Amino acid sequence: APPARQPQAGSSPQAQKDFKDMQTGGVDQDSTCSVTVVGASGDLAKKKIFPALFALFYEGYLPKHFTIYGYARSKMTNEQLRDMISTTLTCRIDQRENCGQKQEDFLKRCFYHAGQYDSEDSFKELDAKLREQEGDRTANRVFYLSIPPNIFVDVARCSSRAASSSNGYTRVIVEKPFGRDLQSSGELSQGLAEHLSEDQIYRIDHYLGKELVENLSVLRFSNLIFEPLWSRQFIRNVQIIFSEDFGTEGRGGYFDNYGIIRDIMQNHLLQLLALLAMEPPVSLAAEDIRNEKVKALRSMKPIRLEDVVVGQYKEHTSKSGVSYPAYTDDKTVPSNSITPTFSCIAMFIDNARWDGVPFLMKAGKALNDKRAEIRIQFRHVPGNLYKNSFGTDLDKATNELVMRVQPDEAIYLKINNKVPGLGVRLDRSNLNLQYAERYKKKEFPDSYERLILDVINGDKRLFIRDDELAAAWKLFTPLLKELEEKQVAPELYPYGSRGPIGAHYLAAKYNVRWG
């Protein structure tokens, strides 16, 4: 049977209907919507996907007629799936309400189908079960590929041939990693394109679903005061920092094949950089935003090895006698592995706005804290009348805008002001927007909630387009090859430390002090 393809937007009644849904941001309440979680027995499904679906149901965002299917090879009954899911559903939205009833209602709509990933027959069986739920309503179907990437194409082929919707949309969410380099990512994209149109593919990067990341464009484009300063004229450097205070525990096998540059930098951090550096888009439409992100990525200068530091954590025993393992202590990691668990890179964007401004990215596991943040350091005030108040260290007087993505979401601006009292003494303080303080009653949705809802509504703004992915790999692939060919040994740093000292030298080379 020929693969069922999604019509291109604007070319068929279905595409027009999709477009209308996109415009209204709503879902046609007469139609049905099913979400099939492929790889339902796995870690991500349990930890993130089912809880996000429940939260959407709880808040009334799922269409009236919805069904959830778990699909994997493991043998499980509907009841066993429900038992498994129920352990991770939380009542985070309103602790006071009895969400037990809601959980029961939700679980009744969850079913399981055991099948192979490369079997059209298995997907035909799933199709029959979905049809039973859908009746004769318009049937919209979402497939969430929460499986290892080597089986993405098998599932795309079998599901598109045997379980595509015949009268509604069929959309497929693809989890990272999308390849290991430009070539493998191109092959994966090509493999998917044989069975799905680009319209149907939703490449997820969960960092784009985080509250603060959504707010980055709002901050830039809806406030008069930032955009005029947003260039080399006023900005001295930008830092994009990710750190975790735990190692690769439990995921060493996966991680050793990828390393921190592929796991965090090529996707999550580069997406933050693209949103921060892009030109103002024509509108908030997905294609307009993604066009600008691609332009920013394509303007980046090739990364030079001398602008890169790699590290790997080694074991450490704390003062109180607790010992923390080295990366290579993980049994699933070869003992001579040189895979980086830390990296720091100085990058440059070769365009009129950013020429010469260092963008420093830093990502590491097993460091001394857990945080993700963007720091924008402004230039010194020319002819600063108060320069003597800061001694010789004018860096202490620079303004800095910090967007703390997690934990404790916040946006703050470091400014100089006078300490109240006689005489003139200056002080650095923060103009501070603490989310927990300002939005006391608000629970922030998990990024998976926002992103799954966007898929249901057909909003692609927060998903990675194929050319964007290619641009990201084009930037990182030569560096990754060079590191591998030259077998660059990572600088070892103790578990729980601030990371390799090399990161400080690299920053100093560009006159940057880490925030």
Annotated catalytic residues are: 268
CB of 151 to ligand NDP, least distance (A): 5
Residues 296, 279 contacting (CB under 8 angstroms): yes
Residue 42 touches which of ligand NDP, ligand BG6, none (Cβ within 5-8 Å per kind): ligand NDP
CB of 134 to ligand NDP, least distance (A): 25
Binding mask 271-300 for ligand BG6 (x = CB under 6 A): ------------------------------
Among 134, 263, 373, 466, binds ligand BG6 (CB under 6 A): 263
CB of 249 to ligand NDP, least distance (A): 12
Nearer to ligand BG6, 272 or 347 (CB): 272
Residues 359, 237 contacting (CB under 8 angstroms): yes
Within 10 Å of residue 497's Cβ, how many Cβ atoms? 17
Residue 179 touches which of ligand NDP, ligand BG6, none (Cβ within 5-8 Å per kind): none
Nearer to ligand BG6, 372 or 480 (CB): 372
Rule CB under 6 A: which of 332-361 touch ligand BG6? none
Q: Is 412 exposed, middle or buried (0-12, 13-18, 19+ CB in 10 A)?
A: middle
Residues 372 and 429: their CA atoms lie apart, in Å, by 21
- CA-CA-CA-CA torsion for 90, 92, 93, 94, nearest 10 degrees? 100
Counting contacts by CB under 6 A, is residue 446 touching ligand BG6?
no
- Nearest to 512, CA basis, from 400, 371, 428: 400
Nearer to ligand NDP, 112 or 493 (CB): 112
CB of 158 to ligand NDP, least distance (A): 13
Residue 149 touches which of ligand BG6, ligand NDP, none (Cβ within 5-8 Å per kind): ligand NDP
Nearer to ligand BG6, 324 or 378 (CB): 324
| Cβ-Cβ contacts under 8 Å for 472 (sequence gap 6 or more) | 266, 267, 270, 297, 464
Nearer to ligand NDP, 57 or 117 (CB): 117
Q: Identity (one letter) of the amino acid at 14?
A: Q
Which 3 state secondary structure label does DSSP give 429? strand
CB of 42 to ligand NDP, least distance (A): 2
Residue 74 touches which of ligand NDP, ligand BG6, none (Cβ within 5-8 Å per kind): ligand NDP
Rule CB under 6 A: which of 304-323 touch ligand BG6? none
Which 3 state secondary structure label does DSSP give 455? helix
Residue 194 touches which of ligand NDP, ligand BG6, none (Cβ within 5-8 Å per kind): none
Residue 151 touches which of ligand BG6, ligand NDP, none (Cβ within 5-8 Å per kind): ligand NDP
Residues 133 and 113: their CA atoms lie apart, in Å, by 14
- CA-CA-CA-CA torsion for 384, 386, 392, 398, nearest 10 degrees? -60
| Cβ-Cβ contacts under 8 Å for 367 (sequence gap 6 or more) | 243, 244, 245, 342, 496, 497, 498, 499
Residues 463 and 122: their CA atoms lie apart, in Å, by 29
Residue 263 touches which of ligand NDP, ligand BG6, none (Cβ within 5-8 Å per kind): ligand BG6
CB of 75 to ligand NDP, least distance (A): 9
| Cβ-Cβ contacts under 8 Å for 108 (sequence gap 6 or more) | none
Name the residues that contact ligand NDP, by CB under 6 A: 39, 41-45, 72-74, 117, 146-149, 151, 175-177
Nearer to ligand NDP, 74 or 86 (CB): 74
Lookup: tokens for 477: 């692939």
Nearer to ligand NDP, 151 or 426 (CB): 151
Residues 49 and 88: their CA atoms lie apart, in Å, by 10
- Nearest to 416, CA basis, from 440, 441, 443, 394: 394
- Nearest to 371, CA basis, from 401, 403, 341, 404: 404
Binding mask 236-255 for ligand BG6 (x = CB under 6 A): --------x-----------
Nearer to ligand NDP, 203 or 414 (CB): 203
Residues 480, 262 contacting (CB under 8 angstroms): yes
CB of 244 to ligand BG6, least distance (A): 6
Q: Is 278 exposed, middle or buried (0-12, 13-18, 19+ CB in 10 A)?
A: buried
Residue 231 touches which of ligand NDP, ligand BG6, none (Cβ within 5-8 Å per kind): none
Q: Which parts of this chain interact with ligand BG6 (CB under 6 A)? A: 206, 244, 263, 372
